[in-house]
Structure 1
Amino acid sequence: MSTPFTEAGGIPVADPTPVTTFSPVVLPVPGRAVDLRLKVSAPATGSDLPVILLSHGHGPSNFVSSLHGYGPVVDFWAARGFVVLQPTHLDSMALGLREADDPDAPLYWRSRAEDMRFVLDHLDDVEAAVPGLGGRLDRSRIAAVGHSMGGHTVGMLCGLRVTDPADGSEVDLADDRVKVGVLMAPPGRGEDLAATASELYPALRTTSFAAMATRALVVVGENDWHPVFSDRKDWRGDAYFLSPGPKSLLTLLGAEHGLGGVSAYDAAETTDENPERVAVLRALVWAYLRSALYPGDPAWNDATAALDAGMGAVESK
């Protein structure tokens, strides 16, 4: 007889409540190739709700990298008190714009961060578009969470800097409305980007974490390494090691780039499928955000104390 998977991997979390979802919320953006579309997942009841702005990865799938993905984490966080907003960035395979004649293609690294900022600029419109959501958001408690290229996007909101390869200007899109970030499996320092990736993604050559001062949790997989991106096996941890504190680092043992399957339920592209690992990750992220957004909340301390040493490890600075 098999053992059922758990929701939180032994990490203490709040009990789940019913969730409502609404999509798409359509925000016209001047100059953008297509309207910005997002999915909203929210607790069915409650007020003064904190917000997670979630940035999807680049990824090879048609719809995972869009508002349709990341159900394993979105459903969990929304059921435990967060309003989760999922924009579809221009690099989504669903939009067919990766080969467009645009200097930001295929990653749309700048547009991604601008999408996130645009959503924050138009929270009133988002509230008005979603039945029953009006007046329920706590705009003082906003987090940004991203996976893979989405981690880079969140890093930019937290102070990560990139030099525009087109004109050599330094791009600063930090946003102080974002009080805390979570970077899951993000790209590392530009100086250590491998030649192949450097040719494909020139904007990543100059990624610098020296000014990424916003409080953040960096999540990495122990086995998340590919020579196409860097010779360094700890490259994806740079957002923690090379940025100023306060920061925390969660290393998931045995995990690869999918971190057990955060991007979708039963996604074929997940090379390390492990629902229990995802359960631990999403519970720890929930706890981290609770303590970061509500000073004095013991959720993070309680969560790290309960973390099974065989599943992962946490360090902070």
Structure 2
Amino acid sequence: MKISRQFTVFGSAIFCVVVFSLYLMLDHLQLDRIKNPINEERLQNGQLVILQDKIDHLERLLAENNKIIANIRDSVTNLRKSVNNDKGPLEAKNLSQGLVDLLPFAPIWVLIPSEDCQFSAQTYSKAADEVQMLDVYDMLSFDNPDGGVWKQGFDISYEENEWDQEPLQVVVVPHSHNDPGWLKTFDDYYRDQTQHILNNMVVKLHEDERRKMIWSEISYFSKWWNNIDIQKKDAVKKLIERGQLEMATGGWVMPDEANTHYFALIDQLLEGHQWLERNLGVKPKTAWAVDPFGHSPTQAYLFKQAGLSNMLIQRVHYSIKKHFATQKTLEFFWRQNWGFFF
């Protein structure tokens, strides 16, 4: 009984000592924090330094951007003066150093014929079969008729025995239009869909040499290319050599043509074409534009300058498409107002 009491007293004493020690330790830490707030100051100072670095970085970027804008403004001003004075073409600078290296230091001068800058004031002779789109716009009512199967125009029908004598020819064009960003992220689209499309493309084209496929968006193709083995890369190169796989347009993306600045249109086209040249030795000849919200002559002009000889466009107002179909002018030469033919 005495031993049990002794253990109880001894255990209680130890518990009290432990609790009192913890109390003294916490109190000491609190006093040390009050007397020596150096650690907190260091933490706050570190956060301020990081914030200051970010602000300094933004200020440097803003300053560089202001220099670029100033150089562009000076270039346009000098170009306008030269055109107004009829001094002829401006001297072209050597661009081999690259646009990024030259822009911050001096204006870029490119060879632009003076007549290209005055196209809006010129008059043009019209060929007998030439279509002027401004006249077409005035002609059409842009209504919304219910045309049957094709709601905006034609009532499509046929007889069951119509193709007994001559079989109907159906042309199927497997093609790509993979937006880098729409309902999913770039990586989500690649993981869920794009990589499977490209993997199946290699298998199916090798099964039958009559099958063909065209691909447009190099941003996705380059990511897939970096993730496949040497054997599959060799198989892709053989498909390209046999003409079964064609790289159409070859831009980094299929860009919007309505609101995009021409700098961005050129930049993404350069990115894709340079990748194709480095990795596949391919130079696209055909443009594939099936999803931009309308099409601009500027894009056709840029494609021509990039070496493309033809293009397919899709998103045209239904009234215009119906008019072209009726007039049998869905295939046409695209001539811009400043005189270049696509």
TM-score computed with the length of structure 2 as normaliser? 0.29
Write 1 or 2 for the structure with the bigger share of helix. Answer: 2
TM-score computed with the length of structure 1 as normaliser? 0.31
Write 1 or 2 for the structure with the bigger share of strand. Answer: 1
